[in-house]
Amino acid sequence: MTTTVPVQRTVLERFPGGRPRGSWPADEYVAAQRDQGIAARVVMDLSSSDQFLVVTVTSTQ
């Protein structure tokens, strides 16, 4: 049996998808957040904005 846990995603910051080669501001931002103890990650929002989103995920239980 599989149990589904509802999650809530919070967008901390948005970065344009078309950055110059070698420029990774979203990854740098995530690293800074992780240094502060915040479990953040980068996801790509292709469906609506073509941006990199820095998000945190928390369970809603």
Q: Give Cα separations from 21 to 24, 25, 36, 49, 60 (angstroms).
A: 8, 11, 27, 20, 38
Residue 14: how many CA atoms within 13 Å on its side-chain side? 9
Which residue is it, tokens 């970065």? 15
Percent of the chain residues topping a pLDDT of 90? 49
Q: How far is it, in rounded angstroms, from Cα 20 to Cα 54?
A: 18
Please give the average per-residue pLDDT across 24-38, as a whole number. Answer: 93
38-58: per-residue pLDDT in tens?
Answer: 999 999 988 888 889 999 987
Asked if residues 30 and 51 have their Cβ atoms less than 8 Å apart, the reply is no
